[in-house]
């Protein structure tokens, strides 16, 4: 992708995406909480992988990520989302 030439319009879209990536990741993590409550057992492992990746990108401490993933409790993940939104993380 480094060799591709993007039009100025495309460059602006890409720039805005990366400028707002943290907010996008926060929103996606909040949506995952709901999805985890409603998901079937078959889909939950994939959703937990996505949640772990998002928490890493949002710079949640590794120990907290490990605890949340180990317990696999959406309520604990919801607490992480709340801490991120309150600026505690």
Q: Residue 2's pLDDT is what?
A: 59
Residue 1: pLDDT over 60: no
d(CA 23, CA 25): 5
What count of other Cβ atoms lies within 10 Å of the Cβ of residue 33?
Answer: 19
Q: What are phi and psi of 46, to 5 degrees?
A: -65, -40
For 7-65, the pLDDT digits (tens) are 999 999 999 999 999 999 999 999 999 999 999 999 999 999 999 999 999 999 999 99
């Amino acid at each position: 992708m480094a060799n591709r030439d993007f039009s100025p319009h495309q460059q602006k879209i890409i720039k805005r995406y990366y400028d707002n990536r943290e907010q996008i990741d926060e929103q996606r993590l909040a949506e995952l909480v709901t999805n985890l409550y409603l998901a079937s057992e078959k889909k939950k492992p994939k959703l937990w992988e996505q949640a772990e990746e998002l928490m890493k990108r949002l710079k949640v401490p590794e120990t907290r990520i490990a605890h949340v993933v180990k317990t696999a409790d959406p309520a604990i993940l919801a607490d992480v989302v709340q801490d991120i939104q309150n600026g505690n993380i």
